[in-house]
Amino acid sequence: MHKHHSALGLAAALRPVEPVTLLRPHAARRAARFFVEKFPGKSLYAVKANPSPELLQILWESGVTHYDVASLGEVRLVANTLPEATLCFMHPVKAEEAIAEAYFTHGVKTFSLDTLDELEKIVRATKEATDLNLLVRLRVSSDHSKLSLAAKFGAEPMEVKALLQAARQASDALGICFHVGSQAMSPAAYADAMERVRESIVDAAVTVDIVDVGGGFPSTYPGMEPPPLETYFEVIHNTFEALPISYSAELWCEPGRALCAEYASVLVRVEKRRGAELYINDGAYGALFDAAHIGWRYPVKLLREPESDTKPMGFSFYGPTCDDLDHMAGPFELPADVQPGDYIEVGMLGAYGCAMRTGFNGFGVEDRVIVDDEPMASLYGGESREAARSNVVKL
């Protein structure tokens, strides 16, 4: 893999024809150390956010030893890449064959579930194993998050008591988990969910060994500047300590976006301009899926020497395929004199962007280059983090 000192230098020197993924290993290491050192419990990396083997290795070397895997493919990937890692199969609906292979071949002992049917499936597939960690997933609100995860998974309140009591009988360690949604913009999301955990423990009258607050930890994007992550950690710690089982239980979390968003950006070239519309060589079927389909606004920067002093304006993007859906509405703020042949860096694409590329329409080939400069935004250091401190939410 090539290395270069900066995104700007790469664009100026190489003038690449295809999109280039810019990797910043130092940013992933910094994020991992932040969670390892500051989260008041154990951090499991949510592999779906970016399953790059290189990233998995960086996180492992930075102290992340547990991995949230959500498919048999992810189980195999992490097991092969990091043989000593601890894998937790946290998808609440799994094929019986996947459970069996995970347990007997790869040593997975931690599984989540949200129904009695899934519990019975896990018990059957593991041949009534006695060393299972079983985490019952509660359905909680996603009101504080930009992307909801409240519809598909999670036991309803009236189901939780019986499910916890049955899982207690089948498990070595019993846990409760939840997911507040992606890009949680307020620590209140976790405070509200932890109240559901407290109510469930009291109602079921069971001993709980693990409380897993899931993912949802945010990154910073234009118009989505969250409070500092320490604020989230403090709220989680305080609400966990208030639980009746905190003296003996473990606290877990499953960061995905927060660990890898700053790891990668994409360098694209402008192929055509039509008014406020820029035709670029990556798009909805590449790294910009979320920008197209859910209107996510990523930070952008015109890479030109000398730097443009033209007043910025809002642009939308069209990707390279023949599909009208290959459109990113934005607006993306760039200097008004952007022209074909210019290069733009689209930042914060280490989470989900790199994971969702396709080869549709013959596009999708891209080089990867390691760069030493800083990500376009950060919650872990520098001016971006200081600016975020002004957005602290008080509960």
pLDDT tens digits along 194-226: 999 999 999 999 999 999 999 999 999 998 999
Q: How confident is the model at residue 383 (pLDDT cuts 50, 70, 90)?
A: very low
Asked if residue 250 lies in contact with residue 211, where contact means CB atoms within 8 angstroms, the answer is yes
Q: Per-residue pLDDT averaged across 48-56, rounded?
A: 96
What pLDDT is attached to residue 392?
Answer: 32
Q: How far apart are CA 232 and CA 184, in angstroms?
A: 10
Cα 51 to the chain's mean position, in Å? 10
Nearest to 46 by CA among 96, 88, 107: 88
Comparing 129-143, 236-250, 370-384, the range with the smallest average pLDDT is 370-384
What number is the average pLDDT over the span 265-270? 96
Give Cβ neighbours of residue 381 (< 8 Å, ≥ 6 apart): 30
Q: Tell me whether residue 183 is exposed, middle or buried, using C-beta atoms within 10 angstroms of its C-beta: 0 to 12, 13 to 18, 19 or more.
A: buried
**382: pLDDT strictly greater than 60:** no
DSSP state of 83: T
Give whole-number Cα distances, 377 to 28, 56, 183, 381, in Å. Answer: 13, 22, 15, 9
Give the closest residue to 387 by CA, choosing from 373, 395, 377, 372.
Answer: 377
Closest by Cα among 346, 385, 27 to 226 = 385
Task: Tell me: pLDDT of 122 over 70.
Answer: yes
Which one-letter amino acid corresponds to residue 324? D
Per-residue model confidence (pLDDT) at position 1: 67
Average confidence (pLDDT) over 344-357: 92
Percent of the chain with pLDDT over 70: 95
Question: 2-22+262-377 has which CATH code?
Answer: 2.40.37.10
Amino acid 385: pLDDT:
39
Tell me which fold the domain 40-254 belongs to.
TIM Barrel (3.20.20)
Q: Which helix or strand (DSSP H or E) is residue 43 part of?
A: strand 42-46
Task: Work out the average pLDDT over 89-113.
Answer: 97
Strands 327-335 and 312-318: antiparallel
pLDDT of residue 395: 32
Q: What is the 3-state secondary structure (H, E, C) of 221-246?
A: ECCECCCCHHHHHHHHHHHHHCCCCC
The one-letter amino acid code at 92 reads: P
pLDDT over 90 percentage in the chain: 80
- CATH 3.20.20.10 residue window(s) in the chain: 40-254
Q: Please, which pLDDT band fits residue 79 given cuts at 50, 70 and 90?
A: very high
pLDDT digits (tens, 9 = 90+) for 134-187: 999 998 877 777 776 777 788 988 999 999 999 999 999 999 999 998 899 999
Of 375, 279, 287, give the one whose Cα is nearest residue 327.
279
User: Would you tell me the crossing angle of helices 188-204 and 157-170 to the nearest 10 degrees?
Assistant: 60
CA–CA distance, 124 with 147 (Å, rounded to integer):
34
Separation CA 350–CA 48 (nearest Å): 11
Least confident of 101-115, 236-250, 375-389: 375-389
Query: Is the pLDDT assigned to residue 74 strictly greater than 80?
Result: yes
Neighbours of 62 (CB within 10 A): 18
Please give the Cα distance from 216 to 89 (Å, whole number). 18
Does the reported pTM lie above 0.95?
A: no
Whole-number mean pLDDT of the chain?
Answer: 92
Q: pLDDT at position 78, please?
A: 98
- Cα separation of 57 and 45, whole Å? 12
- Please count the helices (runs of H) and the strands (runs of E) in the chain: 12, 19
pLDDT at 227: 93
